[in-house]
Structure 1
Amino acid sequence: MKFLNYLLIALLLTIPFWTKAQRQYELNTGWQCSPITKTKDAGLAISVPTYSLSSWLPAVVPGTVLTTMLANKQVPDPFYGMNNNKIPDIYTTGRDYYTYWFAKDFQEVPKAGEQVWLNFRGINYSCDVFLNGQQVNKRPFVGMFLRQSFNITSLLRKDGKNRLAVIVHPPDPVGNPNGGQGGDGTIAKNVAHQYVAGWDWIQPIRDRNTGIWDKVTIEKTGTVNLKNPHVVTIVPGKRLSDGLQQPATVRVSAELENTSATRQTGVVRYTLNGQIVTKAVSLAPNTTTIVDLPALTLAKPKLWWPAGYGEQHLYPMNIQFLAGDKAVSDEENLLVGVREIQTEWNSTTRSRQILVNGQKVFIKGANWIVSDAMLRFTPERYNAEIRFHRDMNLNLIRIWGGALSERPEFYQACDKYGLLVMQDFWGSGDCNGRWVDPMKKEDQWTRRNYPDDHGLFLTSAIDQIKMIRNYASLAIWCGGNEITLPQDIMTPLRDSILTKLDGTRWFIDYSNSDEMSFNFLGGNGDGPYGIQPISQFWSHRTWPFNSEVGSVGVGDYTSLERFIPRENLVAPIYAKNGKSQVDSVWDYHKYIGYDASIDPYGKATDVRDFARKAQLVNYDQYRALMEGFSSHMWDWYTGTIIWKTQNPWTALRGQMYDYYLDPNACLYGLHNGSEPLHIMYNPVDSMVMVVNNTFRYYRDMMMVIKVYDMAGKETTLTQVFSEIGSTLVRPYVPIGRSLQALTKDKGAFLMLQLLDLNKKPISENMYWLPDEKGTYSGLQQLAKAPVQVKARLVASGKIDVTLTNPAGNPVAFFNRLSLVDATTKTRLLPVFYSDNYISIPPGQQKSILIEFTPTTTNTPMVSVEGWNVTEQYIPIAIP
């Protein structure tokens, strides 16, 4: 029986959630399109199957006008170089230029008693829908964040040959992309995303993402349509993540739509963990009824925990409506994480702290825009990006308010990997009037009331809440980015809509609100966003729950080559007078200056050398950021959220991996600095500290502190048994005087370890420290360290790589591993490394696990290259 349960979970994880017992399918191929400027006929004519589409082009659906134009090679890749400037902007062309017809022929004949539904999960911005010569939508279909479902049973042809035609109009207004945040701000008059008019991290999206941007499905039900199920789990008390659990409670409700003119009777039934809960119902004609089922007590539940604190167990749930004849009229399949989110005020930090299943969780968070700026979403890309966040040892992702309510596939990945989610609604301080801004078209008083249609905003919010409320990862609702929503939106959203439709999660009125974090230092409550002195992360007290703080993120040379033309691969030149030289393409892609941070490693000789040294800065910045905040856990801080960890286009700032899913050193600096049990060095008071972000009490750990000079000579400063309780941070040993003497001339490597009783590392952290002048003179002269590398396949899609640095060598410093194609030597992406940018002391070895998706077209090899390690390619041994 246990095997069957595991098998069911595995099957559910591989089946898209729009699948309902083979009753639903997606219309995602075979679409055609034509601009309205070339199509003068009306929808009533176009949607007739005999109407000729011979002059129409293939269309990308789900997609946008721009993704279709790109697929048809009508525009260059807007993410490469300055190609985006070659694409006409809708503000200049007018809205008709990007107003398009989309048409799709499909086969469907309803069976007796069967209802057929046409479902749209997202259209930007307004449209009319036609099927077989008739208009489907009787009322205007407007708003980017709004699902729509139409009963098309009576409109289908008896021969099964059907044509769907949709005309999609862009937002109105489209906004002037004048270089401001959100351009002139008027894009926010729509209930839509705002970044498409440009921001300080992206250039404008020329069509403003006009199109059928999310899934279109055909669904077949019986007379009663079951929709919008709602699952609430209640986990009382303070739980541990292991051992037997006390009972939890599951409450389920669902909407039942009776499509007939007669009363329908039947049974609502759901199955969870082998238990069946039922309720008999009688449904009035042509009505939708919310049905609450009896509560289920789940004995010995397997709970869902955030990453780093426990497992992410998910229970398969099937909920059905059985008609009077016991036939299944409709059903939904869900994966349910049993957990409860709570919050409480920390009077010491003067900020909120988050609890999961009664245990407080220190938030190590990431700010997220969207997976792709042109809305090219796939479950595979979501899975890779969320896994990267798990691998950074983060536990929360905030969805920024100038973008979307994220898609179900995003939340499925967050459920799988244990990332809590803070979901903003659609507003920003920039567009919505928080500040005086000369780039904006309208004054603050006008902008403060954006969007124009408050009713549409609330209707959309209701729909999106229903769409994502069942995901265990969803932890926080947020009214807007850096500003509250207009009062007649905020009040009903907070006090009635969320209370009625959810009522289980923390609601924050805006992202840096005093309700979240008392910003006693004044200002906007977030930032800074660039390079900071390493010591500042430890010593400068910032907001107690900082919603946005971050640094740089340029990738290595291989990453830069993907989107910067060869003639523009020119390293930025830092000038102390502030007149640094930056190539125009770098500037277009929103480069943030590394300024004086490169020079201590030696002035960059070329762009490859610049990118290599930038990785040292990247690693140090993000390790220090999370270590500094963690060092004041529960004292100064209850959490922090990095701005930002990913880019939805080819930007040169704030990213742990590039648009092509190639990680840089930022990711592994965070991976190190955020590890659940972590030993670290405070550069301000020279104290070695340990932070424990788990619920486990660690005893009998051996703390080992060593220094290696540039020749590889080892000096042990101390080793001592230590312990630490759960969710604590502790200072242990001051080492300042010893370090000062050992680093004075050339700098040194500081190695910190926590070993278990078997002498195996459970936390390991190596710092490279400058000389007394603040330069890395020793690194600049570091001798070569020939390392021995072996790679072997240990399972399908898993490679174990062992690097050995023989005794007598210096430290083999800052080694980047890559999985590459054996023939072309190009990197395979995405690939996941258990660690990277690793350093190996002399006489030691390290093993790294590489995970990837095997293909029949690529034979992989492993490449290794370090600061003082010559690049080599290693074949993979297959047992």
Structure 2
Amino acid sequence: MLQATPLTDGWILRHESAALPAAVPGCVHTDLLAAGVIPDPFVGLGETEVAWVGRRDWTYETDLDAASAHTAYEQTDLVFDGLDTVAEISLDGRPLGRVRNMHRSYRFDVTGLSGRLSVRFASAYAEAEAVRGRLGERPAAYAEPYQYLRKMACSFGWDWGPTLVTAGIWRPVRLEHWSTARIARVRPLVTVEQGTGRVELAIDVERTRVEAPLTVEATVDGVRARAEIDGTSGAVRLEVPDVRLWWPRGYGEQPLYDVELTLLHGEDALDVWRRRIGFRTVALDRRADADGTGFTLVVNGERLFARGVNWIPDDVFPSRVTRERYRTRLRQAAAAGVDLVRIWGGGIYESEDFYDACDELGLLVWQDFPFACAAYPEEQPLRGEVEAEARENVVRLMPHPSLVLWNGNNENLWGFRDWGWEPRLAGDSWGEGYYLGVLPRVVAELDPTRPYTAGSPWSGSWDRHPNDPAHGTHHSWEVWNREDYAEYRADVPRFVAEFGWQAPPAYATLRRALPGEELAADSPGMLHHQKAEDGNGKLRRGLERHFAFPEGDFDRWHYLTQVNQARAVAAGIEHWRSHWPVCAGTVVWQLNDCWPVTSWAAIDGDGREKPLYHELRRLYADRLLTLQGRELAVVNQAAEAWAGAVRLRRMSVEGAVVEEASVDFAAGRRAVDRVAVPKELEPVGPKEFLVADADGLRAVHFPAPDREVPYPRPEFEVVLVPGGISVTARTLVRDLLLQADRLHPDARADRGLVTLLPGEEVTIGVSGWETPDAAAARSALYCMEPAR
């Protein structure tokens, strides 16, 4: 039986004459940080102090002892699951190979060899600049040369991320000892038809002895099958009766089945492959209709409104992201009502831990191939690397039922048409051959059970604008960059794959990242941890459309920008959900951050939840009330119909009910009902607003911007209750927020923004609060106040 020996101990990192202990898996930055050689690049201006690291060459070394080399096995392989990125590997001075792709694994025959193992990493900058010199300049959204090598693009910085260009053995490395034959690849095709699950396992083997007769035996849920291996390949098929279907969260359960495949020589087991699979069907409905061209995911025959978030690498040093950290972040997503996670193209193919968690939680995965915001050369050495990495990762990720869509790139088709690339390229290659040629061919050949789309955004044809909202996927960035979030309501895209609004991270996150700094919107550390072009200017203009700008009051600025972020995203989701099934999904930019930064994230770089996160829990719930102009939209994504009466109240800001009515509604399963608001219920002027209540859900509509609303001075009482606090309003209290991390860095509140009418009470659960105190809690409560 194949024996694997992890190589985790005894590594050192060398640079010139210096040597220090190294952690594998890891990277140069984390090793230098552990040794105290560099400051924490996440703290203060530390990022700029470590910029030199990415410009240097680095070498990792360890010893392979003779015992590892001289075994009873016929062959020993040195296996790297991930090398970042350009490296030469040698053993006792003997070259084993040269690699240039972070997104691939590598295997070297080291049978009978021992001695000093050396992995010498060249600077990613040097490699990228050399490729650029050979192939010519290509345009990109950023100046760094990330499109010239197969490496995590956001290592080179993004409009939410630091420039920390890594190098290192970022995924596990091991020795594999084997005899006769080993399993080189298993490609599982999992389908289901009329309750019967079918599993076809296509197997490739590597042999030391060509003549040895080989068989494979596979089992799934007690079903067993055997097949012979002809040469170096074969296939085994199993049928599993009465399978339970795997469903996205909110639509059903997530049963998973263990698959085991054993490679045999006679009755001797040589190697074993084990995975978990789920039985489900997935399709993408892209048919033309009266509204354009659809983009609707269909799982097990059920058409979905996708409640999505965009995912970026959870740490700029991805080797630090553990299995439990993945699960924590993805549980947060599921708890917010999310059912789809898009892995964005400037990052990586994530580890098995990510997809395992999504399988268990019922989170659908949209997987971008790693191309983002740049023209990518299609010549060698890149073209071969692109196909090799695609082939490896498509097969690696095929077992996961959560994976439902392959996407060719992020914004590159749009960039070619709209960002001035076409004339600059003057006919040079830019990636179209990947997105419309290589990648769909690889997916069709290897993974025909899943749909592929050429890019996001993509209208499906060059006959239309790539970002046409009426066709396919749409990215809505005029809002935030140039327009108010009210403009989300100007159209109904078929599928909104990116949109969002910025806000700073939690206060405790800022205090940790900027120790000793007197915080201000434009203080040095705050500006350094704001990577978007004119980010603070856009934050300010976005605030000024709705609020009086709080000059010189950081705490108020911090609160209002977080409120504005939640309101902006709500404006989009409420509008688009109310237009299901024309609009079939929203994917918020973004769920998470890779460091402490002002960004579009709902969860900040320290894992703290912004008010936006809690707002997503309301927006992505199965049932949602939203006031859209003169209509109330009753959105029901539940499996059961929803009918009842909504209580409508036209109120004054002083708390008086001006007019009241009850209106019946009936929303079918997975459907929307639109109810007209009686004219006498429409609020008049800035002193009035409309409240809609039904079955414990509420929608509130203020017709005027906050700066024009004559809010009363908020009055409320705060008392301690077991596990948190209770707040009772004596006046209208709009957008009340407990910033629990101001009570203690570990404290968390179980809800975000809440609007209370006079006499109403809310209980806010608080965890991680060591010494509860009502006065302290009151000081951490923020809400709308009269204009100053």
Deviation at 1:145, TM superposition (A): 1.4
Is 1:263 matched up with 2:211? yes
2:315 to 372, 391, 397: 372
For the Cα contact (< 8 Å) 2:517–2:525, is it kept in 1? no
Q: 1:615 to 1:863 in 2, by over 3 A?
A: farther
Q: 1:804 to 1:521 in 2, by over 3 A?
A: closer
Deviation at 1:703, TM superposition (A): 2.8
Alpha-carbon separation, structure 1, partners of 2:9 and 2:708 = 58
SS at match of 2:718: coil
Is 1:815 matched up with 2:772? no
User: 2:681 maps to which residue?
Assistant: 738
2:195 to 238, 247, 251: 247
User: 2:276 maps to which residue?
Assistant: 335
For the Cα contact (< 8 Å) 1:312–1:416, is it kept in 2? yes
Is 1:753 matched up with 2:753? no
Q: 1:842 to 1:333 in 2, by over 3 A?
A: farther
User: 1:507 maps to which residue?
Assistant: 452
User: 1:319 maps to which residue?
Assistant: 261
Q: 1:332 to 1:670 in 2, by over 3 A?
A: same
Deviation at 1:734, TM superposition (A): 0.7
Deviation at 1:511, TM superposition (A): 1.6
Is 1:681 matched up with 2:644? no
Alpha-carbon separation, structure 2, partners of 1:736 and 1:710 = 19
Alpha-carbon separation, structure 1, partners of 2:252 and 2:173 = 36
Deviations 1:53-77 (A, max 9, x none): xx62011322221221122121111
User: 1:166 maps to which residue?
Assistant: 119
Alpha-carbon separation, structure 2, partners of 1:302 and 1:717 = 49
User: 1:620 maps to which residue?
Assistant: 567
1:126 to 71, 74, 86: 86
1:472 to 394, 401, 419: 401
Q: 1:834 to 1:193 in 2, by over 3 A?
A: same
Deviation at 1:660, TM superposition (A): 0.7
The unaligned stretches of length 5 or more in structure 1 are 1-20, 39-54, 157-161, 237-245, 433-446, 574-580, 756-760, 792-800, 852-857, 873-879
Is 1:653 matched up with 2:569? no
Alpha-carbon separation, structure 2, partners of 1:410 and 1:773 = 41
User: 1:203 maps to which residue?
Assistant: 162
Which residue identity does 2:708 align to in structure 1? T
Deviation at 1:417, TM superposition (A): 2.1
Q: 1:332 to 1:708 in 2, by over 3 A?
A: farther
Give matches, 1:108-257, under 5 Å. Answer: 108=68, 112-113=72-73, 116-131=76-91, 133=92, 135=94, 137=96, 139-155=97-113, 164-171=117-124, 172-174=126-128, 183-184=142-143, 186-205=145-164, 208-221=165-178, 223-236=180-193, 246-257=194-205
Is 1:89 matched up with 2:52? yes
Q: 1:29 to 1:311 in 2, by over 3 A?
A: farther
User: 1:662 maps to which residue?
Assistant: 608
Is 1:629 matched up with 2:571? no
SS at match of 1:295: strand
1:611 to 525, 539, 558: 558
SS at match of 2:41: coil
Is 1:790 matched up with 2:722? yes
Give matches, 1:289-688, under 5 Å. Answer: 289=233, 291-299=234-242, 301-325=243-267, 327-346=268-287, 347=289, 348-375=291-318, 376-428=320-372, 430-432=373-375, 448-449=377-378, 452-483=381-412, 486=431, 488-490=433-435, 493-494=438-439, 496-515=441-460, 519-520=467-468, 525-528=474-477, 530=480, 533-537=484-488, 539-541=489-491, 543-572=493-522, 584-587=527-530, 591-592=535-536, 593-598=538-543, 600-604=546-550, 606-635=553-582, 637-682=583-628, 685-688=629-632
Deviations 1:711-758 (A, max 9, x none): 6566783345533112222212415643514x743x55x554332xxx
Is 1:62 matched up with 2:25? yes
SS at match of 2:47: helix
Deviations 1:160-214 (A, max 9, x none): xx75432222334345999x95643533121223233333333322xx2111122
Q: 1:64 to 1:209 in 2, by over 3 A?
A: same
SS at match of 2:385: helix
SS at match of 2:674: strand
For the Cα contact (< 8 Å) 2:666–2:673, is it kept in 1? no
Q: 1:588 to 1:81 in 2, by over 3 A?
A: farther
Q: 1:228 to 1:714 in 2, by over 3 A?
A: farther
Deviations 1:344-399 (A, max 9, x none): 22423423211111111112322222121122321122112222222332222222
Deviations 1:516-566 (A, max 9, x none): 8974469995231517545322x3115422332221132232232222344
2:708 to 751, 766, 775: 775
For the Cα contact (< 8 Å) 1:352–1:515, is it kept in 2? no
Q: 1:862 to 1:363 in 2, by over 3 A?
A: farther
Deviations 1:201-258 (A, max 9, x none): 33322xx21111222234455533224323333234xxxxxxxxx5132223143424
Alpha-carbon separation, structure 2, partners of 1:671 and 1:98 = 46
Alpha-carbon separation, structure 2, partners of 1:23 and 1:863 = 58
Which residue identity does 1:294 align to in structure 2? R
Alpha-carbon separation, structure 1, partners of 2:141 and 2:34 = 27
For the Cα contact (< 8 Å) 1:122–1:215, is it kept in 2? yes
Alpha-carbon separation, structure 2, partners of 1:233 and 1:306 = 17
SS at match of 2:237: coil
Which residue identity does 1:127 align to in structure 2? A
Deviations 1:19-74 (A, max 9, x none): xx995454344421111x22xxxxxxxxxxxxxxxx62011322221221122121
User: 2:427 maps to which residue?
Assistant: none
Q: 1:304 to 1:843 in 2, by over 3 A?
A: farther
Alpha-carbon separation, structure 2, partners of 1:654 and 1:460 = 30
For the Cα contact (< 8 Å) 1:475–1:505, is it kept in 2? yes
Q: 1:282 to 1:701 in 2, by over 3 A?
A: same
User: 1:436 maps to which residue?
Assistant: none
Alpha-carbon separation, structure 2, partners of 1:500 and 1:808 = 66
Sequence identity, in percent? 20
TM-score, scaled to structure 2: 0.84
Deviation at 1:659, TM superposition (A): 0.7
Deviation at 1:661, TM superposition (A): 0.5
SS at match of 1:594: helix
Alpha-carbon separation, structure 1, partners of 2:408 and 2:704 = 48
For the Cα contact (< 8 Å) 1:63–1:213, is it kept in 2? yes
Which residue identity does 1:765 align to in structure 2? R
For the Cα contact (< 8 Å) 1:31–1:59, is it kept in 2? yes
The unaligned stretches of length 5 or more in structure 2 are 414-429, 782-788
2:752 to 820, 824, 836: 836
Which residue identity does 1:352 align to in structure 2? F
For the Cα contact (< 8 Å) 1:556–1:612, is it kept in 2? no
Deviation at 1:280, TM superposition (A): 3.2
